[in-house]
Amino acid sequence: MVLPYGIAVFVFLAGYLGATEAAKWPCDATAGVLKDRDGRTVWFDSTELERLAIHKSTPRMPSSARVEGTVTVEVVVDKAGKVGCARVAAGHPLLRKSALEAVEHWTFKPYVSEGEPIAIMGRLTLRFSTSRPDP
- As a whole number, mean pLDDT of residues 37-66 equals 91
pLDDT of 6 over the 70 cut:
no
pLDDT of 126 over the 70 cut:
yes
User: What pLDDT does 134 receive?
Assistant: 47
User: What pLDDT does 131 receive?
Assistant: 76
Q: Which residue has the higher pLDDT, 128 or 26?
A: 128
Residue 64 binned pLDDT confidence (cut-offs 50, 70, 90): confident
pTM for this prediction: 0.76
Helices (H), ranges, 46-112: 46-52, 93-103
d(CA 122, CA 78): 11
70-117 confidence digits (pLDDT tens): 999 999 999 999 999 999 999 999 999 999 999 999 999 999 999 999
Taking the domains of the chain in order of start, what are their residue ranges? 22-128
Going by C-alpha positions, the residue among 76, 121, 96, 86 that lies closest to residue 18 is 96
65-74 confidence digits (pLDDT tens): 688 899 999 9
CATH class of the 22-128 domain in this structure: alpha beta
Q: What angle do CA 111, 41, 87 make, to 5 degrees?
A: 80
